[in-house]
Structure 1
């Protein structure tokens, strides 16, 4: 039963530690620009899109493997459920029009460093996926998608 958790995959400790730290920070940070409603909606929407991305790029196109390619273990679960959602919630909590571009750059770097770290410890095994795809993707998410998402969830109609 525990073999399905893929705990013995090389580098599993990194997504578990990073994911739990980001999630705990997102949960307990002082809420400045978002409330619990926005937290809840953002966490679910971003987690959904992350799993769609995994299904498309990781499974269907087989461009990247996380841990054991035949098992969706705890590390992969955290990599797609907690890390992107927590980063998004933290980003939106500090996001204002006046600090948009500095936050976009900081969070693009953070997301890239998380991916780089998981590659370095051997947890991510790319099969054609490159930082040339990741960095622009992170940039678009933080500069366009998340601000648009925030406008949408704050719309009263």
Structure 2
């Protein structure tokens, strides 16, 4: 009975969680394998900083503003960790690995579209439940994040 309660608290089998586990795992592995412009030290710092910011956005959007729910909204399970920490951190590392001043606009658009498609898919699968939020509201956030915030974080780490 104890282990059943533990498994329930992990929220392993939330509706649509398979997609976030798959996507987060693939992005995580790619962020490790495909790093050519990011050192291991930078990788670790980026993963921690972006993961922390992702979890803070979870708290702000899902709890304080209450505009969305994910998985079982009463608990923060493993699927939430993949959605707010692993996936965004790995995606950010992949982006920064290819981002240069000469191709910045292209990569900002590509990674903004990828992030929007992942969010849209999670909504369609029922993992994310919108409560007044529309998926397209995220577009300016993703563009701002990839254009300004992530390059600034990498610059900060490299100083």
- Give yes or no for the alignment of 1:6 onto 2:16: no
Deviation string 1:92-144 (CA, Å, 9 cap, x unpaired) is: 11111111000000000000010011011110001122223211111000001
- Structure 2 CA distance for aligned equivalents of residues 63 and 56 of structure 1: 9
Q: Give SS of 2:69's match.
A: strand
Deviation string 1:3-24 (CA, Å, 9 cap, x unpaired) is: 1121232111111110011001
- Structure 1 CA distance for aligned equivalents of residues 32 and 37 of structure 2: 14
Instruction: Point out where structure 1 has 5 or more consecutive residues left out of the alignment.
Output: none
Q: Give SS of 1:22's match.
A: helix
Alignment of 1:34-49 (within 5 A): 34-49=38-53
Q: In structure 1, what is the equivalent of residue 108 of structure 2?
A: 104
Deviation string 1:65-103 (CA, Å, 9 cap, x unpaired) is: 111111111111100111110000000111111110000
Q: In structure 2, what is the equivalent of residue 92 of structure 1?
A: 96
C-alpha RMSD of the superposition: 1.0
Identify which of 58, 63, 80 aligns with 2:84.
80
- Give yes or no for the alignment of 1:51 onto 2:51: no
Identify which of 14, 22, 29 aligns with 1:24.
29
Q: Give SS of 2:129's match.
A: strand
- Structure 2 CA distance for aligned equivalents of residues 119 and 43 of structure 1: 25
- Structure 1 CA distance for aligned equivalents of residues 89 and 63 of structure 2: 20
